[in-house]
Amino acid sequence: MANLETSAALSLLNARAVRERAQRMLAIGLDDRLPNFRIDLGRMDSAVDLVLQTTRKAYPSFEVPFHSRWRHFVANGDNRWADIADQIRWPDRAARARAEFDLAIVSVFLDAGAGPSWRYHDPKTGSAIGRSEGLGLASLAMFAAGAFSADPHDPLRADAEVLANLSIADLERGLQVSDLNPLVGLEGRVDLLRRLGALVASKPDVFGSFDTPRPGGLFDRLAIEADGLQLPAPAILSRLLQELGPIWPSRLTLGGIALGDCWKHPALATMDATSGLMPLHKLSQWLAYSLIEPLQTAGIRVTDIDGLTGLAEYRNGGLFIDIGVLGFRDAEDAQREHEVASSLVVEWRALTVALLDRIADGLRQRLGLDATSLPLAKILEGGTWAAGRLLARERRADASPPVKVISDGTVF
């Protein structure tokens, strides 16, 4: 029985399971059988229009980069990581890739929503920057200063032992947190990085094959898997989910395997042990997208980028509610606060993933492009995420999402 449950659990730890179940949720919604949302596909053209317009404004030539953490290390056209990395005499490409993996992994794990009031006061420009961009610059500054390194002569690394022993004060200092500059979910983030450090230290075969254990050791594991210097993007996600799964706070487990960002929803009945489960793996997919560029820089060609899914987060999801594709069945739900595990939030996030695929199809048809020339990673960056933020700013004074989610700093 345990073996059956274990293989059932593993069947949820990949992008295909996210996409298949999200599409099922959408199909049930189009039959008007979901408990929380109604769907109006008649509003999809307006959504595609807005995403196209938003993308054109930000990237007039349509040279759109991938949606990834690396975008947040660029401020006012100043690519701060490249400025640092290009000055280093790396012994080889793998050394740079390990450092970039260290930076991306730590920075993404610090990036689960900052709340409306937190700001990073950037010493370089003097400006105050909030949300993901602020967390990106703050985490890069910490990394560059050696905050995660055990070796004072080699600051650009994140060592397992340092991560495992991080204190709340370390993170408060680096992220400039104070009573006047509060950050939601700070304890959750510290706990996540400590768990990351402990896990990496416990798996030297995976994370320490060429160096002492560090998250960046995962680069070497993926490089081995790259057949003929090619690696499908979904393989990055599967490896992340299998190796880093245990660090997420205790949520659902099946057959002894932690399912991570996977939740229950009554509509998704199946005939096996995965009945009622909706995998989303948002932060892990955001991280998978963010590891593509370091792999490419190291000479590994990443294929099937569209094998990953859109991200079930509140800007992409907010776009569909604010533009009217999704409507609350109970209007009062717009005012209530909802737990991440509630069927309403799970349903909203699943529908977001499925509807992002529809936006991608609509955009490609308009532009006469295919998935290779306009992958989902570019559509997320150019358009959906930015369009969702734009509508939030127009509709609500604090630019908050249209669903009030109670977050612990480890999901969004």
Percent of the chain with pLDDT over 90: 83
Cα 388 versus chain centre, distance: 16
Q: For the chain, what is the HEC assignment?
A: CHHHHHHHHHCCCCHHHHHHHHHHHHHHHHCCCCCCEEECHHHHHHHHHHHHHHHHHHCCCCCCCCCCHHHHHEECCEEHHHHHHCCCCCCCHHHHHHHHHHHHHHHHHCCCCCCCCCEEECCCCCCEEEHHHHHHHHHHHHHHCCCCCCCCCCCCCCCHHHHHCCCHHHHHHHCCCECCECCCCHHHHHHHHHHHHHHHHHCHHHHCCCCCCCHHHHHHHHHHHCECCEEEHHHHHHHHHHHHHHHCCCCCEECCEECCCEEECCCCCCCCCCCCEEECCHHHHHHHHHHHHHHHHCCCEEECHHHCCCCCCHHHHHHHHHCCCEEECCHHHHCCEEECCCHHHHHHHHHHHHHHHHHHHHHHHHHCCCCCCCCHHHHHHHHHHHHHHHHHHHHCCCCCCCCEEECCCCCC
Instruction: Choose between 23 and 114: higher pLDDT.
Output: 23
Please report, for residues 378, 398, 412, the alpha-carbon distance to residue 336 in angstroms, rounded to integers and kept in the order given.
33, 17, 19
The answer to whether 158 touches 383, Cβ cutoff 8 Å, is no
Does some domain include residue 412?
A: no
User: pLDDT by residue (tens digit) across 358-401?
Assistant: 999 999 999 999 998 999 999 999 999 999 999 999 999 988 89
pLDDT higher than threshold 70 for residue 68? yes
Q: And the tokens for 160?
A: 């397992």
pLDDT higher than threshold 90 for residue 180? yes
Within 8 A by CB and 6+ apart from 9, the residues are 253, 254, 255, 256, 257, 259, 273, 274
Domain range for residue 212? 2-406
Q: Give residue 104's pLDDT.
A: 97
Beta strands 337-339 and 404-406 are parallel
d(CA 278, CA 18): 7
* 114-132 average pLDDT score: 88
Does some domain include residue 411?
A: no
Cα angle 367-384-409, degrees, rounded to a multiple of 5: 155
Does some domain include residue 185?
A: yes
Cα 22 versus chain centre, distance: 17
Q: Give residue 1's pLDDT.
A: 60
d(CA 243, CA 284): 11
User: pLDDT by residue (tens digit) across 11-28?
Assistant: 999 999 999 999 999 999
Within 8 A by CB and 6+ apart from 410, the residues are 112, 185, 188, 189, 192, 248, 249, 283
Does some domain include residue 30?
A: yes
Q: Give residue 185's pLDDT.
A: 83
pLDDT band at 409 (very low <50, low <70, confident <90, very high): low
Question: CA torsion 303→308→314→320, rounded to 10°?
Answer: 100
Q: And the tokens for 22?
A: 């999200």
User: pLDDT by residue (tens digit) across 247-292?
Assistant: 887 689 999 898 989 999 999 999 999 999 999 999 899 999 999 9
What average pLDDT does the chain have?
A: 93
Does some domain include residue 110?
A: yes
Q: Give residue 4's pLDDT.
A: 87
- Our count of domains for the chain comes to 1
